Structures are given as C-alpha cells and as structure tokens.
Amino acid sequence: MNIAELVKKLNTDIEKGLTEEEAKRRLKIYGYNTIKEEDRFSDLKLFINQFKNPFILLLLFASFLSYLLGDKFESLIIILIVFLGGVVDFFQERSAHKTIESLRSLVKVKATVIRSGQKKEIHLEDIVVGDIVILTAGDVVPADCIVIESKDLFVNESILTGESYPVEKMETEKVFKGSYVVSGFAKALCIAIGKDTEFGKIASKYSEIKYETDFERNLRRFGYLLTEVAFVLILIVFFVNVYFHRPVVESFLFALSLSIGITPTLLPAIVTVALSVGAKKMADKKVVVKRLISIENFGSMNVLCCDKTGTITQGIMKLVSYKDLNNKENEKVFLLAYLNAYFQTGFKNPIDEALISYKSLDIDAYKKIDEIPYDFNRKRLSIFVKTPDSKNLLITKGAVKNILQVCEFVEINNKVNPLTDEYKEKILNNLEDFSKKGYRVLAVAYKFNDKDIIGFSDESKMIFLGFLIFEDPLKEDVLDAINILKEKGIKLKILTGDNRFVAKHIGEKLNLNNVLTSEDLHNIHPDALVKVVEKYDIFAELTPSQKEDIIQALRKGGNVVGYIGDGVNDVPPMKSADVSISVDNAVDIAKESADIVLLEKSLKVLLDGVLEGRKAFVNTLKYIFMQTSSNFGNIFSMAGASFIIPFLPLLPKQVLASNFLTDFAVITIPNDNVDEDWINTPKKWDFNFIKSFMVVFGLISSFFDYVTFGVLLFIFHLSPEYFRSGWFIEAMLTQLLVILVLRTKNSFYRSKPSNYLAFSILTIVSLTFIIPYTPIGEILEIKPLPLNLLIIILSIVFLYIAVVEFVKLKFYKVYS
C-alpha cells in the first residue's frame, strides 16, 4: 500500500495523528506495545504463585482428603494457616513489585508522537497502531513503522540483522522496532506493535529461553538441594510413622508439614523483597534499578569500565582555540567547524555544542545540501553546503588521524600544497603537543565538489586546514572516588576514543599510568588479551567493537564487569557487560539497554549504589543462613524423633503454626542493617560455603533438639500434649534467636539489628510464651508449662545460642 492508502486503512491523520480518546480505545482493544504480556504486573498471578510449591499443593490436597474422612476441624486449621501464610507473603511481594514498578517509571524510555495535532512524549509501551511517530538521533524505534518523511535518516538495525553499520532509510521504507536512529530525522506511521512486529516475532521464538545470572542459578541449585532433602525426609518420616501404626493421614500431613518447614517456600519472597528494598535505597541515592536481579551483579562487580567524558571529567567541552598548521589562530578553521556543527542533524554532542556556543556567526548565506553522519569507525562527520558564491563545499571534521587518512593536500598561509611526509609529521607533532597538555584535539578539512549529493567515497583528496582544541576538566572529587572504589574492591578501567596522549595525561593525574592503544590491540591474539587487559588501566583510541573485545576478555578472566555508557556508541559494550549502567540524560537506546540508570553521572553516586546492592545481597544470604541452620536442624531432628518417640513429636498444625510465626520475623530481614566489613569487597555466591554452613549449624541445632527430647521424655516424663508444647517453644525460640547470631559474622552483641528485625523477633518471642494461655493455644493444643520446665528450656536455648556464637566465629576464621 502507498502512504495514503495506509493512512486511510488505519484511520489516522499524518498532520494531526490520533486523538487521545482513539489512542486509549486502541490500547484497550489491542493491548500494550510489549513483547511479553506477562511482563505486566498481575495481583492474581502473584497470589497464585504463593501456592505453587508442590509440597504446599500436596498438603492442601491431603488436608482436603482428611476433611472428607471426617477430621474437619484439624483440616480447616491447616488450610487456614497455609492460606494466611500465602496472604502475608503475597502482600510482601506485592509491595516489592509496586516499588520496582514505580522506580522503573522514573527512567522509562519515551517516544514522541503527534496526538490531536500536538507533539507529545509517551511511554514506548503506550504506542498504538496508527500513531504518527517523530524520530531523531538516539531514539529507539518504538514499533514497526513506515517512513512518511525523512532527512538524512540513518538507522542501526543490528538487533535484527547483526550488521553494525547504520542503514539509510528513505520515504516509504520500513523501520523496525528495536532498531535505533543513529542520525537524522523522520516522521513515521506505526503499522505494528508488540508481538506483531518483526522483532516481536523473533523474540517470541525464544521466549522460553531464560538466561540466568550466577545469582539466579545458585538460588535454583539451593532450592533443588533443600527440596531433595525434604523429599527424602518425607518418605522416611511417613513410612516410619506408618510402620509404628500411627494414623496414616495424620502421618502424611505431618511429613508434608515438615517438608514445608525446610523447603525455601519463602525464598522467592525474601529475594524479591530484599532486592526491592535495596532498589528503593539505591533510588534514594540517585541510582535507579530497571532489572531487579541485576542488583546482585552490581554488588558482585569488581571491574568498572567507563569513558572519561562526563564520568572522569566534567563532560562540559570548552573550545580553547582553533589553529592552523603554523599554530596560529585561524578564523577560517572556526568558520568551517561552525558550519559543520550547525548543519549536522546527528545526535547532540558536547563538541558541536561547544562550537556553536563559543560565538555566533551569520551563516544565512550558506545552504545545506547533504550530510554524511558521524560514526565511530570513521570518526568523521561531513557536511555538504552551498557557499554564498554558489560553490559546493564539503567540510569534514573529526579525529586528527582519521582526517589525515582522507587528505592529500594542506592549506598553509592561504595556499594549498601537497600533503608531504614533512607536513604529516608536523601535524602529528602538533597533535602530540596539544594532547600532552590534556586537550581534546579535532581536525578540519575541506574540498570543493560539483556533485549534488555525497557519499563515503567523497571523503578523499581533501585539504587539511587546521585544529580545534577543547578542554574538559576533571571532576573535583574524581580522584577520591577512584581511591574509594579501589578500597571497596572495584578496579576502574577507562575505555576512551581519545588519543593516547590525552589518555596518558588524564592517567597521570589519576595515578592510572598504563595505557594500551587501539593499534596495540590489533597485534594481540584474543587468547592473550585475557591476561593483557588485567595489566592496563586505560585503553585509548578505541572503536566500540574494541570496547566489546576488552569487556569480553575481562569477563573471560573471571571478572564481573560493569560498563557506564550514555551514547549510541556505548550500546555494544553495554550489552557485553555483566551489568550495564547508563545515565538519565543518555540517549534513549542507552537507557533502554541499561540494567541500572544513574540520575547523576558520578562515580560517587555509582559507589553508593554498589554498596546498597551488596547490602541487598548480604540480607538475602542471611535468610538462607537462617533457613539452612535452625530449620534444617529442626526438621532433621523431627525425622529422628519419629524413630524414638512413640507418638508424633508435633502435630501438623503446630509445625505449620511455627513456620507461619517465624515467617513474620524473617520477612523483615531485607530491611536489616549490614556490617561494614561485609560490604567492603564484591559479593559473590559461594555454594560450597553455604552447604558447609548448613551441615555445621544444622547439626548443632539438631544436637540441642535431641538434648531437649531427652529432658522432656526422660527427666520430666511428659505426656504427648506437654511434650509437643515444650518442644514447640524450644523450636520457636531457637529459630528466632539464632537469627540475631547468624545475621553477622562478628560477635552478635557488636552488631545492631534493624529496628524492624529486632521488633519482629521480640514480638514473636513474646507471642510464643503467650499463645499457650490463649484460645489459639487451645486450637493448636499447646499447653502452659510449669515454671521449672520453662527455665530448663530457656537454659537449653541460651546454651545453644552460646555454642552457635562460638562456632560461628571459628567458622568464619577458617573460611576467611
């Protein structure tokens, strides 16, 4: 179809676009412009997820079966406790998801559309078929569109084609969702959104493939380990109780209740809440998390790669001078540079802004004819203009060496001479002199051309005119920030397109003295690069593909690598890094590609975010430590108790009530304080450490459980009801108080828990003593105990805590 037919079919208007009412109507009918529907938050789905654990489903089924067999009251109590636990977990996770959604909305990429005749910015997901979209340099193409108007439009379609060079797009041609504008301008008509786009069709083929981070993979392994242990215990406990002729259904319910105690049913909620709490604290420090699980990579990061502009330097370019080959200021150099900067339609950059703002020139007599956009392989930008005397003038501005590549002549004292080796040497000597002083240096060249349009081949046989000299001062606090990063276990590596002399000048000021250049990289075998990149702090004169190579080599060396980027050229290295970081004022495609967005481009802000990420990771581990110690020990003890005790050691409802109450305490762990020494180094998952932790502290817990069994059975000779009451209190106290010990690797009395955690533990401990005297105690069949028995139980608990504290300090010494 031609444009007119499409406009008519889609019932839109090229000039006015859709009305707001029509856009809302289409949004309701056809849905959001997203690839996966499940990406959108759903209360119902989240609530159902709380009961997807197979052991919970089995328990509910068995409870229902018990209800049908006549044990209605007990069954309803069990179902009620499981339901209440799911509700608590649901509200915790829901709050976490809402937090993340609100944070993501702060940095959502927007698109410019025409609605009711007015330009308006909307979120990408709100684009509908029939929208008229405005595209400029750096914009993500929000949907599949037909170009209605275009001016020097070049689009990078590498996400679809794998080809990194930009493609020129003309009127009536198609631009695709997921590609991005490198330079130029366009007005386009949206013809397909979401899963109906070409990108959506490709993505849907791979929708089942899930790429896991190291953190996710180890969480899954940990979950499988505990599930396997739980399954074995269920079989043992069930068959032992049946063997001793205990009620089959009640034995099955008891075994399933134990399995829920050890399986990490709360782990997904704890991870989500811990990471969302971390994300909220990071947002308070101007670091916004777009992908929640990336917080773990952020906390694990031990190498940070960045460009120098805006991160190391202030990012505000200032034109210092414009000189010819004789090192004299030359107004012609400035005029041609000004024309080049003024007429270019690519992405905004500090160089062109510095030229235009330096001083204003009257250039009304010049008319732009054509343009060859800047790209990071050529490192040049060419503008073709008609001069006041009707000559066609090609002006090229770019990196000095890249300009030299296309020059055969040089202008000296208003005369054009052949570019001899002597002149080349003089140009390079001038470049070196300026660069050694820390200046950023570009070159300007020109030639006259009779063509009406130009192409890449026209950048040849040009006349070298002179130099543009810029400065970009270092940030005042950058040296302190780099030193603190180093103290926290993060090495900084600067990856820049600037020449080696500027890079070396910056390095000397920052005590980063090893510089490797693009030329050096060409001579290094990829296998050797893994070791070479470790030795250098600064990499100069790089192309985007070389930045990718460096990041991949660092990752192959076992590093967790972060990369900060804000421009179109930063997208490839960002995608290669473990954690991609951008800034709020970056081009759309950089923000879209980022896991983390800084609201202020500063190493200090980034460091604050890293430390919060480490805290979130540590608080997740605290839950795992608690889960693997007291819970594992208690469940192991109950399995053993089935052999030596002539009755069920705890009723199913008592086991579930214990789990439910301890959940209230551990759910506050994500808000806990974290010791300074725990976040001084990058955090990584150590599966062997966790398994050792589980065995050591699980066995300690189990040992004291057996001591309790002996006291209750052989010293006090308690009946089943009082035995269960005594062990219920002991199990609750050990599970709660051990949190205060295992939440720190230091002496527990030197590390202050958060107010939330302290309050929740104190509250549940109090309830543990109160419940036997309430109607709830009667329902759960938990009896009040005599004072002398309570004192004995408390003595066992405090002895247990003392032993755990002693072993913990020794354990961390061994592992340190």
Asked if 736 contacts 626 with a C-beta cutoff of 8 angstroms, the reply is: no
Domains of the chain with bracketed CATH: 3-30+108-205 (2.70.150.10), 54-98+212-281+610-815 (1.20.1110.10), 287-314+475-599 (3.40.50.1000), 320-471 (3.40.1110.10)
Q: In this predicted structure, what is the pLDDT of residue 757?
A: 93
Q: Higher model confidence: residue 110 or residue 407? A: 407
Beta bridge partners of residue 451, listed in sequence order: none
Asked if 726 contacts 785 with a C-beta cutoff of 8 angstroms, the reply is: yes
Residue 127 — pLDDT band, cuts 50, 70, 90?
Answer: very high
Asked if 149 contacts 132 with a C-beta cutoff of 8 angstroms, the reply is: no
Q: In this predicted structure, what is the pLDDT of residue 292?
A: 76
Which residue type sits at 443?
A: A
The alpha helices in 650-786, defined as continuous H runs, are 652-666, 687-710, 720-742, 755-770, 775-780
Which residue type sits at 516?
A: L
What value does the mean pLDDT take over residues 423-449? 93
- Give dist(CA 723, CA 650) in Å, integer: 9
Q: In this predicted structure, what is the pLDDT of residue 208?
A: 44
Q: Higher model confidence: residue 101 or residue 55? A: 101
Beta bridge partners of residue 196, listed in sequence order: none
- Give dist(CA 51, CA 63) in Å, integer: 14
Instruction: Look at residue 38 and tell me whether its pLDDT is greater than 60.
Output: no
What value does the mean pLDDT take over residues 165-177? 87
The per-residue pLDDT for range 218-245, each reduced to its tens digit, is 777 777 777 777 677 778 877 887 887 7
Mean pLDDT of the chain: 85
Query: Which 8-state DSSP code applies to residue 558?
Result: T
Phi/psi for 246 (5° steps) reads -90, 155
Query: Which 8-state DSSP code applies to residue 313?
Result: B
Phi/psi for 306 (5° steps) reads -155, 160
Instruction: Look at residue 268 and tell me whether its pLDDT is greater than 70.
Output: no
Query: Which 8-state DSSP code applies to residue 635?
Result: H
Least confident of 58-67, 560-569, 667-676, 725-734: 58-67
Beta bridge partners of residue 113, listed in sequence order: 120, 133
- Which tokens is 493 given? 């590596």
Instruction: Look at residue 55 and tell me whether its pLDDT is greater than 60.
Output: no
Nearest by Cα to 593 from 68, 143, 179: 179
The contacts of residue 5 (CB under 8 Å, 6+ apart) are none
What value does the mean pLDDT take over residues 146-165? 80
Q: In this predicted structure, what is the pLDDT of residue 110?
A: 83
Nearest by Cα to 223 from 52, 465, 439, 387: 52
What value does the mean pLDDT take over residues 25-44? 75
- Give dist(CA 408, CA 302) in Å, integer: 47
The per-residue pLDDT for range 298-328, each reduced to its tens digit, is 888 999 998 877 778 887 789 999 999 999 9
- Which tokens is 694 given? 């589980």
Instruction: Look at residue 216 and tell me whether its pLDDT is greater than 70.
Output: no
What value does the mean pLDDT take over residues 457-470? 95
| Strand 579-583 relative to strand 596-598, pairing | parallel
The C-alpha angle 772, 777, 780, rounded to 5 degrees, equals: 135
CA 681 to each of CA 202, 217, 556, 769: distance values in angstroms, whole numbers, following the listed order: 40, 21, 20, 41
CA 379 to each of CA 77, 405, 569: distance values in angstroms, whole numbers, following the listed order: 72, 11, 11
Q: In this predicted structure, what is the pLDDT of residue 71?
A: 64
Q: Higher model confidence: residue 269 or residue 336? A: 336
What value does the mean pLDDT take over residues 719-743? 92
Q: In this predicted structure, what is the pLDDT of residue 648?
A: 78
Could you list the active site residues? Answer: 307
Q: How many CB atoms lie within 10 A of CB 461?
A: 12
Instruction: Look at residue 255 and tell me whether its pLDDT is greater than 50.
Output: yes
Nearest by Cα to 384 from 396, 374, 376: 396
Q: What is the dihedral of CA 315, 321, 323, 329, to 10 degrees?
A: 170
Please report which helix (H) or strand (E) contains residue 299, including its range. Answer: helix 294-300
DSSP assignment string, 327-364:
S-B-HHHHHHHHHHHHH--B---HHHHHHHHH-----T
Phi/psi for 748 (5° steps) reads -60, -30
Instruction: Look at residue 59 and tell me whether its pLDDT is greater than 70.
Output: no
Angle between helices 787-815 and 687-710 (to 10 degrees): 160
CA atoms within 13 A on the CB side of 375: 18
Q: How many CB atoms lie within 10 A of CB 146?
A: 18
Over pLDDT 70: what percentage of the chain?
A: 88
The contacts of residue 804 (CB under 8 Å, 6+ apart) are 629, 697, 700, 701, 738, 741, 742
Least confident of 43-57, 117-131, 251-265, 347-361: 251-265
Q: Higher model confidence: residue 617 or residue 246? A: 617
Q: Is the pTM of this model over 0.95?
A: no
Instruction: Look at residue 212 and tell me whether its pLDDT is greater than 60.
Output: no
Least confident of 385-389, 434-438, 653-657, 781-785: 653-657
